[in-house]
Amino acid sequence: MARRQESARGSMPLKELLISKESKAMASFGVRDLDTMLRFAPRRYVVPAPLRSLREIHQGEEVSAIVEVESVHDRAMRSRYGFLLEVSVTDGTESLPLTFFLTKQRQVDWHRGRLPIGALILVRGTVGYDDYRKALQLTHPDYEPVEDTDEGRAWAQRPRPVYPLKQNIAQGTMRSATEKGLEYAGSLSRTVPEEVITRRGLPSLEEAVRLVHVPLTTEDTRRGMAHLRYEEAFILQSVFAQRRAQDERTPAPVLSADGPLQGLFDERLPFELTAGQREIGDELAARIAHGHPTSALLQGDVGSGKTVVALRAMLRAVDSGHQAALLAPTEVLAEQHHRTLTTLLGELARAGQLDAHPEATRVRLLTGSQRTSRRRETLLDVTSGQAGIVVGTHALLTESVGFASLGLVVIDEQHRFGVDHRRRLRAKGPSGQSPHVIVMTATPIPRTAALATVGDLDVLTLRESPGRRAGVTSFVVHEKLPAWEQRMWQRAAEEIAAGRQVFVVCARIDEDEADAPAPPLLDEDGTERTPALEPARGVHQSALRIAERPELAGARIGILHGRLSAEEKQHVMKQMVDGEIDLLVSTTVIEVGVDVPNASVMIVLDAERFGVSQLHQLRGRVGRAEHPGIAFFDTSAVVGQEHSQHLQRIADAADGFELAELDLRRRGAGDLVGEEQSGLQRTLKHLDVLRDSRAIEQAREDAFAVVASDPELTAHPALAGAIEDRLRDADPDVERS
């Protein structure tokens, strides 16, 4: 589908308001019509320096003053090409020269036209010193006409918007274009119902855009922005409300059977379920028993026991005569999940074999790299329904794998998948029904952040962990400080000597290849900065260097990365699980979910290259059983530098919830649910999912009420239009609903 760029329905095109150079420049950053222009918010405001008397000013200061024009002179400059315009102004206490160096006669004329003798102007600038005349002066100050009244003074002190612009348009041009647009604010499309605006105590849309673009006070900007933020939240929540409403009209398999597999499985479990696991298990059971598709986000920190919860729901699907699929982001993880499920289920997973339980089902693994004969056999089990549970990668969704009766899909690690993948599942269930979907994530997010980003999912949170985990302590290690590095490898060697195992993770496979850039850091005001770094270390070279370290002499070292064949990968993982490798050097193929209970050390080289949730996942690979884990975030950044401070904050964060907030503050909501995630949350314009939690909660309540009473939004055409524009902005290629 082509990317359409036309105006929101009915909104005044900027061509009618501005000269074409300006409207083209604005189009380059998405400002296409009156509606987008007046909702294009300043990045910040500059508050002018307090008004001063000219008697009180000093060299180097920023000043604002209301002054009268006394005299204006211009002359051609002798030493340079151009003109010097000198304006003398006074405020009754002192006189001050304003100096302009101009290249063209018409610029001189333009200033002269705006500076008649006796005119009152507001000047703003930095006080300079004229060595020749030994006097203070302002060079190229900003000025504008002003009245010396209370109103005039308030006007002079108003905050000036600074827009997030590109090079092709000036701030002044943007300001005056916007001010011109404000005259037509009455024709803006009104997305939020009047009644809601009044009830929530917000300024009307017309007033809000005026407050945002021409505020008199900082409080004005806050009130104006409150409307725009609310409006954005309201549109977003209306999308979620509509999706929910659509789910309520879509049929799904009823997964309500209570046994026998679920009961048999619970009896088999070598541990007691935690209260949280039971509670969430019950909630999921209630939801999937409902004849409409559930979309749930099951979140819980690494090791909180999500897999068991999901497996119990899958067994409920099988007990109800349907199938369940478990999708993992990589083949390695799919294989591991397959092993975990078959181990947990034991004889319950061995249908067709001699030692099977009479109620057993089959758990099948389906991956792209399986041999054809094996695959054919598996596919047969999937289509015939013999396989109650199928484990695979997301290829299971895209390939035309025909399930006999797919009732439930569990997706592991949503941050690699993209929540929107679940839309592909529509009609994949029996006789065109939609299967239920549970997405599992180990990167929990704060409640309102979840509402603003995955607001069409039911969020279920596992807060406690089973408690068998010894936990992990994290340290930042600076490569530039050899004593620290040596201590790190020494610790690794000690753990190996004690019979434990070590993971070493690198940012890339080979140092001879192009280096991936480190992720940028964001400043307070959102500007990106990427401090210089050493090139990242590679798996191959690191393995060689580690092998040469005297501390680690004799350690059995393995390597693992995405370029090995599936068999090789499987072989290496098996060796690691069986304890035949002491130290595994790998890329992030082991990032999520890999379970080696005996591993106790995680060393991440060039840790600043990894995202917050990646690092949390990685350290979650150790300390999984009774041995306490140690994670080392090794960086080439120097002590105290931003990357190093950032890593230290991650090392210090207690759990996934704290980290999620850290991540949000650092990267903004855009990346909340992962790099491959396209969609709504990428394009939040005014909302900050942490700061604006109240607006988000209120907008959700209001939007769900509006959609409940008018699902097609026939009485709210402006809202329906805004939703469509929003979805198109978010992802031009995604199908709707």
Binding-site ranges for ligand ADP (CB under 6 A):
271-274, 277, 300, 302-308, 442, 466, 468
Q: Shortest distance, CB of residue 355 to ligand ADP, whole angstroms?
A: 22
Binding partner selected for residue 474 from Mg ion, ligand ADP, none, CB under the kind-specific 5 to 8 Å limit: none
Which residue of the chain is nearest Mg ion when measured via CB?
A: 593
User: CA 39 to CA 34: how far, in whole Å?
Assistant: 8
Binding partner selected for residue 273 from Mg ion, ligand ADP, none, CB under the kind-specific 5 to 8 Å limit: ligand ADP
Using the rule CB under 5 A, give the single segment among 230-238, 307-315, 419-427, 545-553 that binds Mg ion: 307-315
- What is the 8-class DSSP label of residue 477? E
Q: What is the torsional sign of CA 180, 181, 186, 192? A: negative
Q: Which of 181, 253, 418, 593 binds Mg ion (CB under 5 A)?
A: 593
Q: Shortest distance, CB of residue 469 to ligand ADP, whole angstroms?
A: 7
Site string for Mg ion, 549-588 (x = CB under 5 A): ----------------------------------------
User: CA 682 to CA 296: how far, in whole Å?
Assistant: 21
Residue 43 vs 468, nearer CB to ligand ADP: 468
* The amino acid at 30: G
Residue 599 vs 637, nearer CB to Mg ion: 599
- Helix, strand, or coil (residue 124): strand
Residue 310 vs 706, nearer CB to Mg ion: 310
Strands 387-393 and 362-366: parallel
- Helix, strand, or coil (residue 471): coil
User: CA 39 to CA 726: how far, in whole Å?
Assistant: 13
395-404, long-range: CB within 8 Å, 24+ apart, which pairs?
395/367, 395/368, 396/325, 396/327, 396/366, 397/327, 397/421, 397/424, 397/425, 397/428, 398/424, 401/366, 403/323, 403/325, 403/428, 404/323, 404/430
Binding partner selected for residue 305 from ligand ADP, Mg ion, none, CB under the kind-specific 5 to 8 Å limit: ligand ADP
305 part of the interface to Mg ion, by CB under 5 A: no
Instruction: Give burial (CB, 10 Å; 0-12/13-18/19+) of 151.
Output: exposed
Residue 276 vs 519, nearer CB to ligand ADP: 276
Residue 442 vs 684, nearer CB to ligand ADP: 442
- Nearest by Cα to 601 from 490, 465, 483, 468: 490
Q: Shortest distance, CB of residue 593 to Mg ion, whole angstroms?
A: 4
Contact by Cβ (8 Å): 477, 485: yes
Residue 365 vs 442, nearer CB to ligand ADP: 442
Residue 38 vs 442, nearer CB to ligand ADP: 442
Binding partner selected for residue 547 from Mg ion, ligand ADP, none, CB under the kind-specific 5 to 8 Å limit: none
Q: Shortest distance, CB of residue 333 to ligand ADP, whole angstroms?
A: 11
Q: Shortest distance, CB of residue 519 to ligand ADP, whole angstroms?
A: 24
How many of the chain's residues bind Mg ion (CB under 5 A)?
2
- What is the 8-class DSSP label of residue 255? -
Residue 181 vs 300, nearer CB to ligand ADP: 300
User: CA 285 to CA 313: how far, in whole Å?
Assistant: 7
Contacts with 65 (C-beta within 8 Å, 6 or more apart), sequence order: 51, 52, 53, 54, 57, 91, 122, 123
Q: Shortest distance, CB of residue 303 to ligand ADP, whole angstroms?
A: 5
Q: Shortest distance, CB of residue 575 to ligand ADP, whole angstroms?
A: 20
Say how far residue 80 (Cα) sits from the centre of its chain: 53
Q: Shortest distance, CB of residue 266 to ligand ADP, whole angstroms?
A: 11
Strands 142-145 and 135-139: unpaired
User: CA 713 to CA 15: how far, in whole Å?
Assistant: 30
Which of 596-627 are b and which e, b meaning 16 or more Cβ less than 10 Å from the residue's Cβ? Answer: bebbbbbbbbbbbbbbbbbbbbbbbbbbbbeb
Q: Shortest distance, CB of residue 278 to ligand ADP, whole angstroms?
A: 9
User: CA 581 to CA 568: how far, in whole Å?
Assistant: 14
Q: Shortest distance, CB of residue 305 to ligand ADP, whole angstroms?
A: 3
Q: Taking the CA of residue 118 as centre, how many other CA atoms within 13 Å lie in the half-sphere pointing to its CB?
A: 0
Place of tokens 């002491």: 582
Residue 247 vs 283, nearer CB to ligand ADP: 283
As given in the structure block, the two tokens for residue 8 are 């929101």
Binding partner selected for residue 271 from ligand ADP, Mg ion, none, CB under the kind-specific 5 to 8 Å limit: ligand ADP
Residue 277 vs 600, nearer CB to ligand ADP: 277
Residue 442 vs 585, nearer CB to ligand ADP: 442
Q: Shortest distance, CB of residue 450 to ligand ADP, whole angstroms?
A: 17
Q: Shortest distance, CB of residue 302 to ligand ADP, whole angstroms?
A: 5
Residue 588 vs 635, nearer CB to ligand ADP: 588
User: CA 319 to CA 263: how far, in whole Å?
Assistant: 10
Where is 162: in which H helix or E strand?
strand 160-162
Question: Residues in the site for Mg ion, rule: CB under 5 A?
Answer: 307, 593
